[in-house]
Amino acid sequence: MTYIVIYSSVTGNTKQVAEAIADELPQGTPCVRAQDAPEDLSRYDVVCLGFWANQLQADALAQTVLTRIHNDKVALFMTCGVPPMMKHAKDTMSAAISLLPEGQTPIDTFICQGKVDPKVIALMYKKFPKGHPHGQSKERDERHKEGATHPDANDIALAKEFARRI
């Protein structure tokens, strides 16, 4: 089987996870940024696409790739500023899946918590008042602090396990 790993990354979280996945796939598996992805993906048996969460959706660059994956086998992975079991993370992955061409269903998915770009945190805190779900709060500050430690060794091990499953 031939694989390709495509990713979109701003803080380096998704790139780190993508590289771990590619390392676990057959030697020579390409691992490329979304903007460098081949236009024609039909020569690959499995397309693995990674993205970062942006307002309950895959980031815009990843969306351009998502909508043109017509391969029988696609696997999606994402990084986000919240733990993977949170509704926000699950809803974001569901929204990304909905962008795949009609009838396309991922063979597997993986969600990894990651650090949030400090510029985004500052923007959110400026835009939303304290008390707003996206405004500054003790809980939110703690979540950002925890997120800054990811992806960690356990996350990378889980990414490699995801690669073995696909």
Tokens 């889980």: give the residue: 158
pLDDT in tens, 12-63: 999 999 999 999 999 999 999 999 999 999 999 999 999 999 889 999 999 9
Q: Tell me yes or no: is domain 3-115+150-165 CATH 2.40.37.20.
A: no
Mean pLDDT of 53-82: 93
What pLDDT score was predicted for residue 123?
Answer: 82
Domain residue ranges of the chain, discontinuous segments joined by +: 3-115+150-165, 116-149
> Is the model's pLDDT at 87 over the cut of 90?
yes
What pLDDT score was predicted for residue 158?
Answer: 97
The torsion region of residue 56 among left (phi > 0), alpha (psi -120 to 50) and beta comes to: left
pLDDT in tens, 99-150: 998 888 999 999 999 988 888 888 888 888 888 877 898 888 888 888 888 9
